[in-house]
Amino acid sequence: MRKITLIFALLMLVALPAAAQEAVPADDFDAARTQPNLDALQGVDGFADSCREGINYAGFTVQFAEAGTITVRSQAYTDFLDETVTITDAAAGESVGFTINGPELPENTTVQFTISNGVDGSEIYVAVNCTTGEVFLERLLNFDGRILGGNDLSVVVFPKIDHDGNTYLDLYTATDIGNGRQTLEITAEELAELPENPETNIVVGTTSDGLATLYKLTSGEWQLNFVPDFEGVHRVLIFDSLSPSDVRRADYR
C-alpha cells in the first residue's frame, strides 16, 4: 500500500505568493464547459434523498427549436452509471417534461445529465446531487466519464466504484488522441485513510511518469498539479469531491 505523505512546506498554487504567479487563460477548459443551448432548458427540479435505486434523481422540461428525438444520458463514476434513454420524438418548439432515475448511488453523488434532441450542438448539461437535490448547470464529466478538465491535460482523472461499492480513482496519462495508459491508482482503502479535512495539504500520489501529483487539501478539495509544459505553464485542476459539483482550472507561469 502506498504511503500517504504529509506536506508541511506548501508547494501548491494556493500557497504561492501572488508575485510568483501570472495567470494563464485555460481556453480549452472554458470551451469544453460552454452551454450554447441552455435556453432550451425550461425547468429542472433535483430531488433530495434520491440516491436509492428506482427513485427519480431529477425532473426536466425542455423545448428545442428544432424537431428531433430527445435523449438523456446519465453519468456517475465512469462506467458504474452510464445510461442513455430515449424520451420521445418532439416537434420543433414542443415542450416536453420527464423524470430520470437509476441505480443506487453513494450519498452525495453528483449525477451528470446530457440532454439532446439529436441535432449537433443541441446538448444541455445539468448535474444533480442525489442527496441534497441541488442542481448545477455545469458540464462536470467528459463523454468517457473523466472529470472534465480540458483536452489539453496530459493526465486525466476517472472516479470509479469497485465491486464492493467503494469509490476509488484511476489516473491515466494520454499517449495519443483517444488513448492512454494507467499511471496511478488510488484504491478505496487508501482513500478511506485520508481525513476529510486534513490539517495540512497531503500528497496522495504521483503518476508513475512523474507528470502529475494529486493532493488532498485542507479545504477537503482535491488538487492535481502538473509539471510545467514546454512553455513553462503550470496546469492545476481542482475538484471538490470524487463525484464533483465544482471543477476549476488555475493555470499560471
User: What are the CB-based long-range contacts (under 8 Å, 24+) for 30-35?
Assistant: 31/150, 32/139, 32/142, 32/148, 32/150, 32/151, 33/138, 33/139, 33/148, 35/124, 35/125, 35/137, 35/139
Residue 180 has a pLDDT of 86
The grid coordinates listed for 194 are 485520508
The grid coordinates listed for 131 are 442527496
- The pLDDT of residue 96 is above 90: yes
Residue span(s) of the chain under CATH 2.60.40.10 come to 38-136
Q: Please identify, in words, the CATH class of the domain defined by 38-136.
A: mainly beta
Measured between alpha carbons, how far is 13 from 21 in angstroms, rounded to an integer?
A: 8
Q: Give the mean pLDDT of 163-169.
A: 90
- What single letter denotes the amino acid at residue 202? I
Q: What is the 3-state secondary structure (H, E, C) of 168-231?
A: EEEEEEEEECCEEEEEEEECHHHHHHCCCCCCCCEEEEECCCCCEEEEECCCCCEEEEECCCCC
Which 3 state secondary structure label does DSSP give 139?
coil
pLDDT digits (tens, 9 = 90+) for 178-198: 678 999 999 999 999 999 999
Measured between alpha carbons, how far is 244 from 107 in angstroms, rounded to an integer?
A: 12
Measured between alpha carbons, how far is 19 from 236 in angstroms, rounded to an integer?
A: 18
pLDDT digits (tens, 9 = 90+) for 198-252: 999 999 999 999 999 999 999 999 999 999 988 899 999 999 999 999 999 999 9
- The pLDDT of residue 2 is above 80: no
Quickly state the pLDDT bin for 19 (edges 50, 70, 90). very low
Strand partners, 112: 75, 127
Quickly state the pLDDT bin for 16 (edges 50, 70, 90). very low
Q: Give the mean pLDDT of 119-148.
A: 96
Residue 6 has a pLDDT of 38
Q: Give the mean pLDDT of 131-139.
A: 96
**Of 16-20, 48-52, 185-189, minimum mean pLDDT range:** 16-20
Give the pTM.
Answer: 0.89
Query: Which residue from 118, 124, 111 is spatially nearest to 50, judged by alpha carbons?
Result: 111
Which 3 state secondary structure label does DSSP give 118?
coil
Quickly state the pLDDT bin for 5 (edges 50, 70, 90). very low
Residues in the chain: 253
